[in-house]
Amino acid sequence: MASEKVLLVTPPYHCGVLESAGTWLPLGMVYVAGSLQRAGYEVTIYDAMSKFHSYRDIRRAISDYSPDVVGTAAYTSSINDAVSVLRTAKQVNPDIVTLIGGVHPTFCWEELLGKDGDAVDYVVRGEGEITTRELLDHVFSGRNPNKVAGIAYHDGMSARCTAERQLIADLDSLPTAWDLVEWRDYSFKPKKGSTLAVVSSSRGCTQKCTFCSQRLFWRMNWRARSPENFVSELEQLNSEYGVDVAMIADETPTFDGERWVKILEQLIEKRLDLEILMETRVDDILRDKGIINKYREAGILHVYVGAESASQDTLRRYQKNIRIEESKEAIDLLNGAGIITETSFVMGMPDETPESIDKAVELAKYYNPDLAFFLAIAPWPYSDIYPELLPYVEETDYSKYNLVEPVVKPVSMTRDELNRHLLRAFREFYMDKLERLDEMSEFKRNYMISVTKLLIEDSYLAGQMKGIIPQKVRRVIEKYLGISGLQPGLAPD
């Protein structure tokens, strides 16, 4: 059995989006740690991101723990910080073995190793549970890792990758290291005093959205845990760790309708003290229109569905296989069941104009979700849409590829102008929602008050929400949110 010490560290990256709603545990590390624990490794998860720790803190933690291995993971906007974590580990002790996984390293391993091979020893490509264990077994037994499927590394002359690893067939068999989670760090901010878990009931996506990374990472494949295995985990998290909010991280947990019904029915039967946040597809909601009441009975609190664009032509370019009226119907169904609804619009394509953004705002109001976000398209360098967007990319700093800061310049606008219009869209949508708080049910009104207060005070939108706003809306904010000192007037363009 192995006895080496492994420290898994999240990169301390922040852009003011996800952390405004809650603190989210690194589920991928929980799975990798579980597999390493089973193999006998001593593992610690250090969530520097959720703790808002600095590199001085990270250096101290690495020095104090004295690990044999430091691993991290990254998406595109966090890749710079992830590399910095591994570089810090090498500065503490050059003999530390450094690993990195996640979506961006999986596809951009050659660029990564070419640029930062002095800090990165190995890239774990794709699913990490089996690959990481096998890799470390080879490294610490002195065997050449070139036979380990699913990795990339620099051999001294060039970056190289090994054969692709097959996807894990039996997700029920994967162990999870819930015992390593510092639960006090994780909460869902709209629910005071909550304990929040991130869970996975399935892996994969079979859709063809051209701007997305998930279908590529999961190779257009979808696999699922059994309903019994998944619900049993939720029951364990609720009873052993006091988890009362769980976010399902899957892209499409509802993909298999029969399986999803079984999950709902088991949750209803167990009556857990647990509320669930999730995302799914419009067509699955429409499929389930006759059982939407079961969603709420099972504890489904909040559902995100991706509307993505106000233009049917743009939806076709995104290969988003939905129609605008279908999105409206799906959101109406969820609203009718008392479920919090959220959607987003991915903006900033080369042909974007102020008028097309206006159209998105009007469509958002028509859809009438509780929450809507107007995002700047991020041209992931491995996405299908990247070649189309590349001539319009003005920003090459990956840390800006966060769906908040525009990196693509539309033909008819500067990026600064695009940013102003996106923020204006957000203001207009939420000012409209705030004007209609009195029309909402008490449950939704209280939820919206909590969320809006977080957006105003604790997100990348905070400065914009505290800008010049209409007098009527200012009175609503002061009445319900207890925030005063907002300047009356008309919202600027």
Query: Which residues, 6 or more positions from 433, have their beta carbon under 8 angstroms from its beta carbon?
Result: 370, 448, 452
Which of the 8 DSSP states describes residue 338? Answer: T
| pLDDT score of 481 | 60
Q: How far apart, in whole angstroms, are the C-alpha atoms of residue 85 and residue 58?
A: 8
Tokens read off for 469: 């706003």
Give residue 314's identity as a one-letter amino acid code.
T
Which of the 8 DSSP states describes residue 66? Answer: -
Q: Which of 39, 56, 42, 51 is nearest to 8 (CA)?
A: 42
Q: Which of 362, 278, 295 is nearest to 334 (CA)?
A: 295
Tokens read off for 420: 């102003």
Tokens read off for 375: 């995002």
pLDDT per residue of the chain (493 residues) written in tens, 0 to 9: 567 999 999 999 988 666 767 899 999 999 999 999 999 999 999 999 999 999 999 999 999 999 999 999 999 999 999 999 999 999 999 999 999 999 999 999 999 999 999 999 999 999 999 999 999 999 999 999 999 999 999 988 889 999 999 999 999 999 999 999 999 999 998 898 999 999 999 988 766 665 555 667 666 678 999 999 999 999 999 999 999 999 999 989 999 999 999 999 999 999 999 999 999 999 999 999 999 999 999 999 999 997 654 455 555 554 455 578 888 999 999 999 999 999 988 899 999 999 999 999 998 998 999 999 999 998 888 888 888 999 999 999 999 999 899 999 999 999 999 999 999 998 899 888 888 888 888 888 888 888 877 777 766 666 655 555 556 656 666 666 665 444 333 232 3
pTM here is 0.90
Instruction: Report CA dihedral (110, 114, 119, 123) to the nearest 10 degrees.
Output: 10
| pLDDT score of 22 | 82
Sign (positive or negative) of CA dihedral 304, 310, 312, 317: negative
Q: How far apart, in whole angstroms, are the C-alpha atoms of residue 429 and residue 360?
A: 10
| pLDDT score of 492 | 29
Backbone angles phi, psi at 248, to 5 degrees: -80, 120
Q: Are 32 and 127 in contact (CB under 8 A)?
A: no
Domains, the chain, ranges and CATH? 5-154 (3.40.50.280)
| pLDDT score of 3 | 79
**Cα-based angle 290, 291, 295 (whole degrees, multiple of 5):** 145
Q: How far apart, in whole angstroms, are the C-alpha atoms of residue 276 and residue 299?
A: 6
| pLDDT score of 21 | 77
Place of tokens 């409206």: 328
Q: How far apart, in whole angstroms, are the C-alpha atoms of residue 80 and residue 111?
A: 12
| pLDDT score of 286 | 95
Q: How far apart, in whole angstroms, are the C-alpha atoms of residue 330 and residue 1?
A: 52
Q: Is 310 left (phi over 0), alpha (psi -120 to 50) or beta?
A: alpha
| pLDDT score of 212 | 59
| pLDDT score of 438 | 82
Q: Are 485 and 457 in contact (CB under 8 A)?
A: no
Q: What is the H or E stretch that residue 278 is in?
A: strand 275-280
Burial of residue 345 (CB within 10 Å: 0-12, 13-18, 19+) is buried
Tokens read off for 121: 């020893």
Q: Which of 413, 303, 288 is nearest to 347 (CA)?
A: 413
Place of tokens 């857990």: 272
Tokens read off for 139: 């490294």
Per-position b or e across 93-132, b if 16+ CB within 10 A of its CB: eeebbbbbbbbbbbbbbeebbeebbebbbbbbbbbbbbbb
Q: For residue 222, what are the β-bridge partners?
A: 204
| pLDDT score of 16 | 67
| pLDDT score of 476 | 66
